[in-house]
Amino acid sequence: MDYKIVNMQASDWGQVSNIYWEGIQNKISTFQNTIPTWEEWDKGHCKSCRLVAKDGDIVLGWVALSPTSSRSVYAGVVDVSIYVGNSFKGKGVGRALLLELIRESEIHGFWTLQSRIIKENIASRELHKSLGFKEIGICEKLGKMDTGIWYDIVLAQRRSSVVGVD
């Protein structure tokens, strides 16, 4: 595969939301059960660090950040969302996206990246650990999906070694 990591555009939303839907359907990627509109999604995410992996015009996966809190003390702490299309998993797309996100996040002054990963999502947990995220805790029975099953969340965190080190 020959793909590039580029900034997400509003025009990518159709493909991005399709990949998001795949994550909703697999029941281990998110507690979300519907796709938001572009406007809703846009409002809830940071304006920087929105990336897509593209092979030509095809979006293979995406990654974005959302604020952890509106309090100024948490200005450099953000939550990571990362999704790879089912057809492109296991091909390094997620790793490339997360590596670029780490680089971009430090350029934009973010010192802590956090991911809340459903415990059963082993592939995502391993990816995050391989790129310096530490699993710092488990939130037990945090969410219940339409399956009727309660799921635990693993909180993974990566602290920058170049931003917020003073």
Report the run of H or E that residue 150 belongs to, with start and end.
strand 150-159
CATH number corresponding to 4-159: 3.40.630.30
Edge-first strand listing for the sheet containing 4-7: 4-7, 51-55, 58-67, 77-84, 112-118, 150-159, 134-144
Q: Where are the domains of the chain?
A: 4-159
Check residue 141 and give its pLDDT: 95
Question: Averaged over 85-89, what is the pLDDT?
Answer: 97
**How far is it, in rounded angstroms, from Cα 163 to Cα 110?**
7
Q: Tell me the pLDDT band of 73, cut-offs 50, 70 and 90.
A: confident
Query: What confidence tens digit (pLDDT) does each residue in 98-151 have?
Result: 999 999 999 999 999 999 999 999 999 999 999 999 999 999 999 888 888 999
Give yes or no for a contact between 38 and 11, defined as CB atoms under 8 angstroms apart: no
Check residue 145 and give its pLDDT: 84
Query: What confidence tens digit (pLDDT) does each residue in 5-60 have?
Result: 999 999 999 999 999 999 999 999 999 999 999 999 999 999 999 999 999 999 99
Question: Averaged over 76-84, what is the pLDDT?
Answer: 97
Q: Is the pLDDT of residue 3 over 90?
A: yes
Question: Averaged over 76-98, what is the pLDDT?
Answer: 97
Q: Is the pLDDT of residue 1 over 80?
A: no
Give yes or no for a contact between 116 and 155, defined as CB atoms under 8 angstroms apart: yes
Check residue 75 and give its pLDDT: 87
**How far is it, in rounded angstroms, from Cα 7 to Cα 127?**
21
